Amino acid sequence: MFQIEDLWVSIDDKPVLKGINLHIKKGETHTLFGKNGSGKTTLLMTIMGFSRYQVRQGRITFLGYDITHMPTYERAKLGVGLAFQRPPTIRGVKTKDILRVCAGGKMPVEALAFEYGFEGFLDREINLGFSGGEIKKSELLQLVAQDPKLVLLDEPESGVDLESLQLVGQIIRRVLQKDLRRVDRQKAGLIITHTGYILNYLNADMGHVMADGQIACQGHPMDILEHVKKSGYEECVRCLCFQK
């Protein structure tokens, strides 16, 4: 469903991603681990096609299309959706306006907001004065409305209190169709997580550890998490050196 081959990306002419390979099948959820600055967010932003991220080499394919140089909105229309870690505030643009854009007339956004106790935010300017948890909720509800086939989540648990985390987990399960059998799911997910807390709410199928713009280790996410907690990310970097 989604494939990255030998992807090299620069920001302001500085190489950040150095030969990423990744393959996610329909119904699967993958997680990305790694220290700050290892390239996780750059990878997600590149998949979404933002202008700051210059693809120097390699290819991204989704649903059989080469999307490497496709404009962001076309990727969104094709079914790539991203929940930002720190989305911008856009003054004067209301949350309901954006939800309506996401839904494209396919879903009543008021009912969706009401379902998750978010109706009080519909008339507020997007992200203005939102708490960490409110931002995540807003981002995820946008994804529910957008209904993308490839779900990209950048640290969905950061800034969220434990009580809200459960709700965030629920919404992510919905977006990823986690309540269906894997063979019946039409979605795939790629989630950046630092703490792994979100893994308590959904099963991920594969974990990748990034270090210095490369994928250093791969394995079951819970195993990786345990390993990182015990030995730290340095061990993964050594693993990469060993492979080389």
Partner 1 sequence: MPVLPEIKEAAVKSKTKKAAFGSDLDLQQFRRQAQDWSYDEQYTSFEEMEKQQLLRAGIELTDTDHAGTFLQADRSIMHCKTSQPGLEILPIREALQKYNGLPDYYWRLVPVDADKYTAAAELELDNGYFIRALPGARITQPVEACLYIRTEGLAQHVHNIVVAEPGSHLHIITGCTTHPGVTSGLHLGISEFYVKKGAHLTFTMVHNWAENVHVRPRSAIIVEEGGVYLSNYIVLKPVKSVQMYPSVRLVGEGAVARLNSVVVAHPGSELDLGGKVVLEAPYSRAEVIARTVTTGGTAIARGHLIGKVPNIKAHLECRGLILAKQGIMYAVPELTGEVAGVEMSHEAAVGRIAQEEIEYLMARGLTEEEAASTIVRGFLNVEIEGLPQALKDDIERTIQETEKGL
Binding site for partner 1 (CB under 8 A): 48, 50-52, 71-73, 76-77, 81-82, 84, 87-88, 90-94, 97-98, 101-102, 104, 125, 142, 146
* Two tokens, residue 122: 């519909």
Q: Give the span between the Cα atoms of 213 and 12, in whole angstroms.
A: 15
Min dist CB 18 to partner 1, Å, is: 24
Distance CA 14, CA 221 (A): 30
Q: Which is nearer to partner 1, 110 or 125 (CB)?
A: 125
Which of 98, 188 has the CB closer to partner 1?
A: 98
Tell the smallest beta-carbon distance from residue 50 to partner 1 (Å): 5
Closest-CA residue to 42 (of 18, 68, 16): 16
CB of 82 to partner 1, least distance (A): 5
d(CA 27, CA 114): 28
Of 50 and 114, the one with the shorter C-beta distance to partner 1 is: 50
As measured in angstroms, the least distance from the Cβ of 151 to partner 1 is 12
- 171 closest CA partner among 106, 116, 108: 116
User: Cβ closer to partner 1: 33 or 84?
Assistant: 84
CB of 73 to partner 1, least distance (A): 5
Query: Which residue, 5 or 125, is less far from partner 1 as judged by CB?
Result: 125
* CB contact burial 178-197 (16+ within 10 A = b; e otherwise): beeeeeebebbbbbbbbebb
